[in-house]
Chains A and B, each alone.
Chain A
Amino acid sequence: MNLTNEEYGKYVKRHALPSPVVKDTVKAFVIGGTICAFGQALQYLYVAVGMDKEIAPVMVSVTLILISVVMTGLGLYDSVARHAGAGTLVPITGFANAVVSPAIDNKAEGLVLGIGVKLFSVAGPVILFGTLSSVVYGIYYYVMKLMGV
């Protein structure tokens, strides 16, 4: 084979079947949108049954997390996610799934060294860099405030 690694890499990229971007995007939009619409409907429902308006959005998040966790436990979540892509990843459902799936996966290795160590193996970077960026933003906000902006 006379191709250099670079030539082969280009050839492989040309050869590979591309992801069906339009189909994937439409599915992500429809499923993701449905989850969000469902969340909004839940919020209206919670307020209608007399829940405090401040508390209702939090309870919506908690409900969506619960549904996502139960579906992950039943092995249904990934069958939906393989079609939905970012549609299930972006809402809070994706984060719940990212924490629960390693917990279930590593049960056999024990409570501490299995679940304890691996719980944030997927979500860890999100938590770390999410917290870090909030610190950066906090400092920026403080400085701006001192400067009277």
Chain B
Amino acid sequence: MAGVIKFGNKPEILASSAVGGDTEAKGNLGKYFDMTDPTDRFGKKTFEQAESEMQRLALNFALKKSGLTPDDLDAVFAGDLMNQCTGSSYGLAEFGVPFFGLYGACSTAAEGLMLAAMTVNCGYFERAASVSSSHNSAAERQFRFPLGYGCQRPPTSQWTATASGAFILGLCSGETGVVLSEALPGKIVDKGITDQSNMGAAMAPAAASTIHRYFSESGMHPDDFDLILTGDLGQEGHSICRELLLSQGLRMGENFSDCGILLYDSEVQDLHCGGSGCGCSASVTAGYVMKKFAEGKIKNILLIGTGALMSPSSVLQGLAVSGIAHLVRFSKI
């Protein structure tokens, strides 16, 4: 089995952008979004259409920042949480760019980045984009209860982020100087968790497996990185992941955090364990992390996009929720 992929031709992130909803604007990272909408509707009639609109806006912002037009893109790798990936297909149709629809649950941002980097690194595409999104109201409707239904959420539950992140990758031209240097695709890990309101626990073993594989194969050490970010394990899953890694002899330091924990203000917002959804890791990376690179505050980070693989039917049929975690390494050159 192929191990850690090393991108020798330095696929660079030419531009990135993040779009978010109201809860995200009020969170810890509100100022890192290119645009937020206090209504969560982005001028659309339904939340599903709003999610598509977020993807359209995010890719548009990224194109503007890079000074490119849709014609300059050879492909877009996109995904979301909605049935049949319609968030992406409706949102990105008007660009007229060759389209790959992805479903990696909440790990889609890392999956899209990895695939875009592979195609650019090999020279199949000169430039490729990666876009992903989730919308709290669209996801709640699909996976849980109607929006106005009054119920109590358990302390281990997480909040699906209303957000989208877009990246444009191309061969290194020194635009941002941030390249994808390595990647490690994740394996599906099933540890028998059936509790839909504890996704962190369902995904933590997958994250631990990918992180452990990366450090045993790459020869790197956790202290070599400014930040090691899991996608959306939340407080519960992140703490489990840390303990699992420790039990395997890998002690993670203070630089080990999680996009879902960073995104919201846990003191004020009462969103239990933190954020989740494709838009969570996508917007935190495209907004906050890329800004920190631009400010020169960080030089080397790992993103481990985590996803919970299940459907409303699989949950009702009592099947376990399995996890997946894709790793990508960002380096400043």
Contact = CB atoms under 8 A, between A and B. Distances in A.
Nearest to B204: A12
Interface string B132-156: 0000000001000111111111111
Given A1-B208, A1-B244, A17-B155, A12 B150 contact: no
B240 A12 contact: yes
B248 interface: yes
Nearest to B141: A105
B152 A104 contact: no
B193 interface: yes
A16 B201 contact: yes
Interface string B163-193: 0000000000000000000000000001111
A53 interface: no
B46 interface: yes
9 contacts: A1-B247, A12-B201, A19-B154, A73-B148, A75-B148, A78-B148, A97-B148, A104-B148, A105-B141
Interface residues of B, number: 34
Query: Quick one: which of A15, A81, A85 has the most chain B CB within 10 A?
Result: A15
A82 B153 contact: yes
Interface of A: 1, 3, 5-6, 8-9, 11-12, 15-20, 24, 72-73, 75, 77-78, 80-82, 84-85, 88-89, 94, 97-98, 100-102, 104-106, 108, 121-122
A142 to B, nearest CB: 36
B148 A101 contact: yes
B209 interface: yes
B198 interface: yes
B155 A9 contact: no
Contacts of B320: 5
A120 to B, nearest CB: 11
Query: Quick one: which of B45, B148, B243 has the most chain A CB within 10 A?
Result: B148
A78 B150 contact: yes
Contacts of B66: none
A16 B191 CA distance: 16
B205 interface: yes
A102 B146 contact: yes
B151 A81 contact: yes
B149 A12 contact: no
B150 A17 contact: no
B89 interface: no
Contact of A94 (B150, B153, B248): B150
Query: Quick one: which of A12, A18, A77, A100 has the most chain B CB within 10 A?
Result: A12
